[in-house]
Amino acid sequence: MSSPQSSIEPGAGAAGRRRSASYKWVVLSNTTLAVLLATLDASITLIAMPDIFRGIHLDPLQPGNSFYLLWMILGFLIVSSVLVVSLGRLGDMFGRVRMYNLGFVIYTAASLILTIDWMTGRAGATFLIVFRVVQGVGAAFLLANSAAIVTDAFPTNQRGMALGINNIVGVSGMFIGLVLGGILAPIDWRLVFLISVPVGLFGTVWAYLKLEELSTPMRARIDWAGNILFAAGLILLMVSITYGIRPYGGAATGWGNPVTDALLAGGLACLISFFAVERRVAQPMFKIPLFKIRAFTFGTLSTFLSAVARGGLMFMLIIWLQGIWLPLHGYNFAETPLWAGIYILPLTFGMLLAGPTSGYLSDRFGARPFATGGMVGSALGFGLLMLLPIDFPYPLFALVLALIGVSLGLFASPNRAGVMNSLPPNDRGAGGGMNQTFQNSAQVLSVGIFFTLMVLGLATGLPHALAGGLEAHGVSRAGAERIAGLPPISILFAAFLGYNPIAHLAGHGLLHGISAAGRASITGRSFLPHLISAPFQKGLHEAFLFAIGACLIAAIASMSRGGLYRHGEDPGGEQQVPAGQRRRVLASGTVRER
C-alpha cells in the first residue's frame, strides 16, 4: 500500500517508480501552460495583423504582398502540423520530457527575437515569418509531447479529467489569443510577441526543475526517408492551399492555377510514397500498426473531421463581425478586430465549461457518448448559425456560440482521453503526435475550404452589387467596374484586417469628382455591409453546410470507436468493454468486469 505522500503508477515505462502524489498536478499545470502558449500564439497575430503591418510599413493588401499576409496567418500552423509527428516519435526514442523542455527553450527564444525586428517593408515581414516558423517549431515540440507526459503521470481513472483540462485550455487558447492580440497590438505590436517571453521563461525553468522522465526511452534509428517525405508532402499540400485561395487570372480562386495543381499533385505523391516507405522500414516514424487499435483509429478520424469543421469557423465569425455586423452597429473599422474577439468569447466560455467536466465523466463512462453528442451538438449549432439573419440580435448569436462551445468541449476532452488511453505506453509520443498532426493539418485545410467556399459564394453576387452601389453614388462606370472587378478575397481580407475596404481599395482617384455626401456615404460604416450582406450570406451558408457534414461524419466515426477502451497489461494487450456494463479500473490500467 502506498503512503499518502507517494503513489506507484505502473504501466508508464518506469513501472513502480515512487513519487510525490502532487507530481501529477505539477505535470498538468506545466503542460497546460505550454499548450495554452502554443495555441494562443497560433491566433494572437490574427487580430494584431493591422498593427503589425502598419508597424513595419507594409500594405498587406497590395497584390504582391498577399504572400506575406497568408504566411503570417498560416506559417505557424503549417510548421507545427509538419513536425509534430516526428517530434512525438523523438520523444518516445530520447525522452518525452527532454524533447518537451527543448521546445520551451526554442519557443521562448523565438518569441524574444520576434520583438526585435528592426526592418521594415518586405524584409521586415520576411523576418517575422521566418521566426514565426521557428516559434512554431518550439510549439510543435510542446504539443507533440505534452499529452503523452500527462498520460504517463496520471492513472487511467483520472486521465480523462487531466487531458480534458489540458486539451480544452489549448483549444480555448485559439480564441483567447484573438482578444489578447486586440488589446496589446494597439499599444505596441511588439507586445504581441513579448508577452510570451516571461511566461515562456517561467515555464522553461519550471519544466527543467520539476518534470521527471517517467517513460522508458526506446532508442531506434531515425526514419529519415519517412520524415523527409512526410514533411515535403504536408508542406506542398499546405502551400497549395495558400495559392488556392488567392485569385488566378480572371478566376476568383487559384484552384485552376498550374502552380497550385503542381503543388497539390507533388504533395499527394510524397504522402503516397511516405505510406509505402512506412510499411517497409523496420522502425517507422508513423506507426501504421497503431491504426489496428479501433479506439485510436476512429478517435483520430473524429479529431480530423472536428478540426476541419472548427478550423475555418473562427475566420468566418471574425469576417462576419468585422465586415458587416460591427460596422452596422456603429463601430469604426479600426475598432472591429478587438471587438470581434470580445463578441466571440461565449464560444470560449462554453468550451471551458464543458471540457473538464466531460473529461472527468469520460473516465467513468468512456469517450463515445460525450464525443458523439458533442459532434451532433456542433452540427446543430452550425445549423442555427445558418438560420440567423446577417444583422442578428446579439443575445441570440451569443447563445448559439455558447452551444457550439459546449458541444466542442463535450467532444474534445473525452476524445483526446480516449485516443491517449488506447495507446501502449511506449507509443504515446508517436500516437499523440499523429493525433495532433491530423488536428493541426485539418485546421489549415479548413481555412482553405472555408475561404474557397466563401469566395465562390461572393463571386456570384458581389461584383454586380458593388458596381451598382458605386454608380448610384456618383462613381463613374469605369471606376465602379474596376472596383467590382477586384477579387472577392481582397474585400474579405480588408474587412478581416480592420480596414475600411472601400476607402482602402478605392484610392483617392476613384472618389474624385463626386459630391461630398456621396464620398461620405461610400466610405461610411454601412455602405459595404449593406452591399455585401446577401452574397456574404450565400457564401456563409455553403461554408456552414460543409461544417455540418463534417460534424455529422465525425459523430458517426466517434460512435464507431466502441465502448470504454484502455490499454492494459493483460496478455492480449487491450480489452474492449461495452459502455453499459459496470467496470472497475485498476491502477495498472487494466479494465475488468464485475
What confidence score (pLDDT) does residue 583 get? Answer: 39
pLDDT in tens, 271-324: 999 889 988 888 787 788 888 888 899 999 999 999 998 877 877 888 899 888
Sign of CA dihedral 388, 394, 398, 399: negative
Contact 30, 23 (CB under 8 A): no
What is each CA distance from 246 to 52, 59, 297, 447, in whole angstroms? Answer: 21, 16, 34, 12
What confidence score (pLDDT) does residue 63 get? Answer: 67
405 or 579, which is more confident?
405
Q: How confident is the model at residue 507 (pLDDT cuts 50, 70, 90)?
A: low
CA angle 493/499/503 to nearest 5° reads 110
Average pLDDT over residues 562-591: 44
Instruction: Please say if the pLDDT value at position 566 is more than 70.
Output: no
Contact 484, 467 (CB under 8 A): yes
Instruction: Please say if the pLDDT value at position 587 is more than 50.
Output: no
Q: Domain ranges for the chain, please list them.
A: 223-284, 459-534
Instruction: Please say if the pLDDT value at position 176 is more than 50.
Output: yes
Average pLDDT over residues 331-340: 83
What confidence score (pLDDT) does residue 19 get? Answer: 55
pLDDT in tens, 92-150: 888 999 999 999 999 999 999 999 989 999 999 999 999 999 999 999 999 889 988 99
Burial 235-248 (b: 16+ CB within 10 A, else e): bbbbbbbbbbbbbb
pLDDT, averaged across the chain: 82
d(CA 429, CA 270): 24
Q: Three cell numbers at 104?
A: 520551451
Which residues does 262 contact at the CB level (< 8 Å), separation at least 6? none
What confidence score (pLDDT) does residue 106 get? Answer: 96
Instruction: Please say if the pLDDT value at position 496 is more than 80.
Output: no
Backbone torsions φ then ψ of 37, nearest 5 degrees: -60, -45
For 8-17, 29-38, 408-417, which range has the lowest pLDDT when averaged over its residues? 8-17
Instruction: Please say if the pLDDT value at position 91 is more than 70.
Output: yes
Instruction: Please say if the pLDDT value at position 563 is more than 80.
Output: no
Q: How confident is the model at residue 594 (pLDDT cuts 50, 70, 90)?
A: very low
Backbone torsions φ then ψ of 251, nearest 5 degrees: -90, 150
For 61-75, 478-492, 506-520, which range has the lowest pLDDT when averaged over its residues? 506-520
Sign of CA dihedral 14, 16, 17, 21: positive
Helical packing angle, 368-387 and 345-365, nearest 10°: 160
What confidence score (pLDDT) does residue 10 get? Answer: 39
pLDDT in tens, 396-428: 999 999 999 999 989 988 888 888 888 888 888
Instruction: Please say if the pLDDT value at position 230 is more than 60.
Output: yes
d(CA 296, CA 308): 18
574 secondary structure, DSSP code: E
**Beta strand pairing call for 591-593 and 18-20:** unpaired
What confidence score (pLDDT) does residue 297 get? Answer: 92
What confidence score (pLDDT) does residue 226 get? Answer: 85
CA nearest neighbour of 304 among 416, 219, 398 = 416
d(CA 406, CA 401): 9
pLDDT in tens, 426-446: 888 878 888 878 887 888 888
